[in-house]
Amino acid sequence: MGEVIKVDGVWKYYDGRAVVKGISLEVNRGDRFVIIGPSGSGKSTLLRMMNLLVRPDKGKIFFEGVELTSPKVNPVEYRKKIGIVFQHYNLFLHMTVMRNVMFGPVKVKGMKLDEARKVAEAALDSVHISRALWDKYPSQLSGGEQQRVAIARALAMEPEVMLFDEPTSALDPELTGEVLQVMKELAKKGMTMVVVTHELGFAASVASRIAFIDSGEVVEEGTPKEILFSPKKERTRAFLNRMWELYRIEPEW
């Protein structure tokens, strides 16, 4: 399918402490690459390095063969192709839903207003935000609706890759289902996705590959069946045992 993102031996330090330790991985076009692991393991930092919102201290990041970490490259141009959705919605509170979604195409891509509105309408329809909400403000929406608007805002930039940083962690179970359903629909459409999540059910049903990260390192990487149901490493098993307890599912090992 072709390599889209390549992470080559990246390290990141905060206050002299390594939070990402020489990680290398590849994301191919059409992949649904899921990253799991305990809190504080470096997952979100790794994800943000993929579009250089966080710069690695060592190592290289490539997008479609171009080294984003090269001083000769302007990463802003490539961020247009790499959408990202955070734990918190980060919507502009003073803007309506429609204006939030139109903002990027107009300000970043230079679209005319009528063209940007058509793109925004399609994006909002794709995440099931009803037209009755388009002129509402974020404070008038539920958490699940706000997160779906955040996804629509990223989609309106027509990215080649979508990065999701624990997009359901701030939501209750019912609203979590709304957002995960939208993400599953994106996966079915062939969107290349990298998802940091604790939602093992989502990972099992959608992921093409899963990486388990702990203490800034990739402990194991493989298919959902390999990682979720027959992991080789004891550290992976210990983490998953605790997670499966939450789902009240008995693992196969």
| Nearest residue to 151 (alpha-carbon basis) of 173, 130, 127 | 127
- The model's pTM is 0.92
**What share of the chain in percent tops pLDDT 70?**
96
In the predicted model, is pLDDT for residue 164 greater than 90?
Answer: yes
What backbone phi and psi angles, to 5 degrees, belong to 58? -145, 155
> What is the rounded average pLDDT of the residues 172-186?
90
What residues contact 89, with CB distance under 8 A and at least 6 apart?
138, 143, 146, 147, 149, 150
Per-residue pLDDT of 189-248, as tens digits, reads 999 999 999 999 899 999 999 999 999 999 999 999 999 999 999 999 999 988 877 655
Residue 14: phi and psi, rounded to 5, are -130, 125
Q: What is the pLDDT of residue 195?
A: 97
Q: For residue 253, what pLDDT is reported?
A: 46
Cα 149 to Cα 7, 116, 161, 251: the distances in Å are 29, 15, 17, 36
- Sheet of 17-28: strand order equals 17-28, 3-14, 58-63, 66-67
Q: Across residues 62-68, what is the average pLDDT?
A: 94
d(CA 76, CA 251): 43
Q: Tell me the pLDDT band of 169, cut-offs 50, 70 and 90.
A: confident
Burial class (CB in 10 A: 0-12, 13-18, 19+), 96: middle
Closest to 233 measured CA to CA, from 242, 220, 222, 221? 220
If you average pLDDT over every residue of the chain, what do you get?
A: 93
Q: What are the backbone angles phi and psi of residue 54, rounded to the nearest 5°? A: -120, 130
Residue 16, pLDDT > 80, answer: yes
Average pLDDT over residues 151-167: 95
Separation of alpha carbons 206 and 184, rounded Å: 7
Token pair belonging to 171? 């939501």
Q: What is the average per-residue pLDDT within 1-24?
A: 95
pLDDT at 103 over 50: yes
Residues 6+ apart with CB under 8 A from 175: 142, 143, 144, 147, 168
Percent of the chain surpassing pLDDT 90 = 83
Confidence of residue 53 (pLDDT cuts 50, 70, 90): very high
Q: Is the pLDDT of residue 136 over 70?
A: yes
- Phi first, then psi: give them for residue 52, nearest 5 degrees: 60, 25
At 76 the pLDDT is 85
